[in-house]
Structures are given as C-alpha cells and as structure tokens.
Amino acid sequence: MIVLIIATSILLITISIIQYKSVAKEYNQRRVENIERYVKKHINYVLSNTTYPLTNENIKLIFKDKIHEVSDIQNAEIQIYSLEGKLLKSSKESFSVEPHSPTISKFILRLVRSSINKRYVDVKTIDGIKYRSSYSLIKNKKFKPIGILLLPNIPDDGYYEKELNNFLIHLAQVYTFMIIVAFAFAYFLSSFITKPINDFAKKLSETSLNQKSKIIPFSAKIKEINMLLIAYNRMIEELERNAIKLAQNERDLAWREMAKQVAHEIKNPLTPMRLTVQSFQRRFNPEDANIKQKLNDFSESLIQQIDTMSSVASAFSNFASMPAQQNEVLNVVEVVELTLDIFNEDYIVFESQEKEIISKMDRTQLIRVITNLVKNATQAIPSAQKNKWVLVTIKKIANEVIISIQDNGTGIEKHNFNNIFEPKFTTKNSGMGLGLGIIKNIIENYNGTITFETKFGSGTTFTVTLPITNT
C-alpha cells in the first residue's frame, strides 16, 4: 500500500510537471504571438497612413517618431531591420545607429524566409529566465517584404510556474498526510495479520517428538490462517499417534536386539559345555585310576562356563538398569589417582594441574568410568609393541572438570566412529561391547559429555567433561 501510494504520487507529480510545462510553453508562445500581432497591426496602420513610398529605404523616415509611439502603446521594445539584417530603427530612446550596430544572422534570416508564416521565434535563457525574441517580415500593401520586425527578449510569464509550485506544495502536503495514514493503517493491518502467524510460528518451533505438543485454538479472524491452523492441529494429532507407534516400535526393537544378544552370548558357553559333557560321558570309566582328577577337571570346566554365563547376565542387567546415584562430595583428583593404583602396568602415567577438584558425584560410578576407559586404552596397545604409554590427565576449566585418557595404541578405524558408543559393538576378540555404552549413560546422567579423537595406527584420546557440582 505504501509503495503504491508513493509510486502514484511520483507518477502524478511527473505528469503534472510535464503538463504544466506544456501549457506554460503554449501560453508564452501565444502571448508572444499576440504581442507581435498587435504591434504589426499598429505598424500596418502607420504604413497605410504615411505619405512616404513604402520602400526599404524609407523605413527610417516612416518610423522616425512613430516607432516610439507604437512601443509606448504596445508596451514592447521594437526593432526594425532591413531585409539584409541591418538595424534601421529601434524604440530605445538612447539608441543611435552606428556602423557596428547589431545585425540579424544569416541563419535566422533563412529561417524567417523559409517558414510558412514568415516568422521565427528564438528562445534563450539568461540568468535562469527564459526569453523569446520574435522575428517577422513587414510587408507593404502589395504584400512585398520591406523589412524585418524584431520584438527582442520578451520574458516568459511566470504565472504557470507559480501555479505549478503551489500545486506541488499542496500535492506534497496531501500525499504526506496520506502516507502517514497508510503507514499507520499498514502497521495495524500487518499486526492484525501477522499476530496469529507469529503465534503459529512459536507453536511450530515447540513441536517435537520428545514432548507432547498442544493444538492451537481457532482464534484467528482470517479464513486462510484458520485453514492453516486446522492443518497444523491435524498434523499434531497425527504426529502424536506416530510418536506413540515409533516409541513402541523402538522398545520392541530394543528388546528384540537385547534378546538376540543375550541368546548369542549365552549360546557361546553352552556349546563347549555340551561338548565337555559328551566327551566325559563317552570316556567315563568308574574303574579308571584317574577318575577323580578327570571329574575335577570336568567340574572346573563347567564352573568356568557357568561363570561366563553369569557375567553375561550381570553385564546385561547392569546395562538395562543402572544403580541409583549415591552422590557425595569428593576430590575427583584423588579418586582418579587411587583408581589407577589397581593397574599393574608401569606405563600408565597420571598428571593433574590441580591438587584438588571438589565435586559432588557417585564415587563408584566415577571409578567405573575411569577403570573402563583405562582398561580399553591398555587393551588397544598391541602386546608386541615396545614403546607403550597411557596418559591420564585432569584439569579444571571454568566450572567443569576435564578428564583425558590418551594411548598410543592402534587407534580406531574411521568406519567405526559412529558405532563406538553403541551397545554390543566391540573391536576386541573378547567382551560384549557394553562398557562404553554404560559409561556414556553414567556421564550423560551428570549432564556431561564424552568425546574421542583418534588416528588409526597412532592412538586414541577419550575426553570426559563433567560439570562441577558442590551442592
């Protein structure tokens, strides 16, 4: 609306200026023609009543005194030239014809003679004012030219310029008022239109699969926006139904994967147990002198496999339900240093920038995180490697404690990056791949993060960031 009003005002002003200039030009041309017509009538009257022969040579005598009379009556300066362009007579009182008196250029003489009306108007601007000079032929009774009449430097009438300026001032005032009204109207109209859209945008930004989204009541007064709200509410209802289905499918899939993994891990020790029992059954001889030793070996083998099954069940139980946090105020540096004492490897190095970092957390879970990461670091170093080292560092940045475990082992291949923290994933020949998944859950329960940087063949660095909580 504002652009339309501004464009209309500019167009109207442009058209008005063009029209006023056109009318002013025609008016000034007619004004010069009228002055010229009245002057020529008076000149013709003088010519018709003179006693001198109407020749070019007698012009000076004919208008010796009459030219001042004509000039005073017509209120115009008058100059009469010969057909060759030499000045013969002028209405100026102080003017005297001299050898170097003004002449009419040959170019203007040709224009006067070649025009249909035998006249020519020359337009020029002096000091910002436009002047018109009219050249026309003076003829005798037989219509033969005897001289050239010049009405020099007739200024244009400024009436239309004044009218144009007044019109533009009034037009600017009207359109300024209209633009102000348009601004106000556009503001309230846009607010009326965009308010329900802004509300809709806020609701849309709050829409998430992880939380229940609210429908928007049909409060808008605009039909199209109400249609948008109806579509949004329908989408929310459909999204909620799909979210429930998706959550159920994810739970079902998780249980199926868990059951498959449990079955796989339990099946591993069952096979050697079956083979051991079958072998013992075939070779069992009560009369054998070594029967007690064989029975003892058989029992130990079964117990070992049963312990493996028990560890499998315990690992899955720990992963499925983490024990409740028993938070206490502790020195993180001290706990980590004591945890490293259980490792016998002399290449494990501990460094800390702080002697004491006090935070409130579960001691057992912190020990579990450090133990698992250091154990993984030692296992990532090939046994045949000569130069081995694992560096554990602690530092405090702002209100966070940063624990870093760095090794110079084999590193992690790029295609395994996305699977590192997934349950059941492991690159080792033993274990069930639940360790990193468990400690990731522990760290996230404290609103912390765990990340890693690795270079295959050079080593890996795991970084644990935990917020410091004193209350």
% of the chain exceeding 70 in pLDDT: 81
- Is 87 in a helix, a strand, or coil? strand
pLDDT tens string 198-209: 777 777 776 665
The pLDDT value given to residue 96: 46
Q: Which of 155-159, 321-325, 435-439 has the lowest mean pLDDT?
A: 321-325
Task: Indicate the DSSP class of residue 419.
Answer: G
Task: Indicate the DSSP class of residue 86.
Answer: B
pLDDT at 391 over 80: yes
Report phi then psi at 222, rounded to 5. -110, 130
Binned at pLDDT 50, 70 and 90, residue 390 comes out as very high
% of the chain exceeding 90 in pLDDT: 8
The pLDDT value given to residue 319: 55
pLDDT at 388 over 70: yes
Task: Indicate the DSSP class of residue 458.
Answer: T
Q: Which of 119-128, 424-433, 457-466 has the lowest mean pLDDT?
A: 424-433
Element spanning 232, H or E:
helix 223-283
- CATH fold label, 327-467: Heat Shock Protein 90 (3.30.565)
Q: Which of 79-88, 103-112, 295-304 has the lowest mean pLDDT?
A: 295-304
Q: List alpha helices for 284-362, DSSP H.
A: 291-320, 332-340
The pLDDT value given to residue 264: 60
Binned at pLDDT 50, 70 and 90, residue 6 comes out as confident
> Which of 3.90.1170.50, 3.40.50.300, 3.50.50.60, 3.30.450.20 would CATH assign to domain 2-163?
3.30.450.20
* Alpha-carbon span 138 to 78, nearest angstrom: 13
The pLDDT value given to residue 430: 46
* Alpha-carbon span 79 to 70, nearest angstrom: 11
pTM of the model: 0.38
Strand 348-352, strand 400-407: pairing: unpaired
pLDDT tens string 87-129: 888 887 654 445 556 788 888 888 888 888 888 888 888 777 7
| Average pLDDT of the chain to the nearest whole number | 79
Q: Token pair of 379, please?
A: 């296992």
Q: What is the dihedral of CA 278, 279, 282, 287, to 10 degrees?
A: -130
pLDDT at 210 over 50: yes
Q: Are 12 and 172 in contact (CB under 8 A)?
A: no
Q: Which residues pair with 145 in a beta bridge?
A: 139
Q: Which of 64-68, 293-297, 454-458 has the lowest mean pLDDT?
A: 293-297
- Domain extent listing, the chain: 2-163, 207-321, 327-467
